Amino acid sequence: MDTTLEIDKNVATGDYILLAIRNWDDKLEVYLTVDDPATATQTFSEYHNAENAFFSTNYEACPQSGGKDVKVELLHMRFGIPHMVRNRILFP
């Protein structure tokens, strides 16, 4: 079956880069989800700006950490679906 793209339709891609700083939940023994209110997020339209923010994030810059581990993730959001680009865990 052949599929064609209809040029006259404007498709909203939701294409952006998301920097998410997620806290560790001792009760669930897992990191909070990206859409959790306690997760700090920052949205970027340019990848190089998002990557600079990712590498410049340190543990002291995460006031919501509360002495627990935090997970820093760089996600490419496309059509509302997150695609992992980079991640790291920061320890107290």
pLDDT tens sequence across 27-44: 878 888 888 888 889 999
Which pLDDT value is given to residue 13? 64
pLDDT beyond 80 at 12: no
Mean pLDDT over each residue of the chain, to the nearest integer: 82
pLDDT beyond 50 at 5: no
Q: Using alpha carbons only, what angle is made at residue 76 by residues 71 and 78, rounded to the nearest 5 degrees?
A: 135
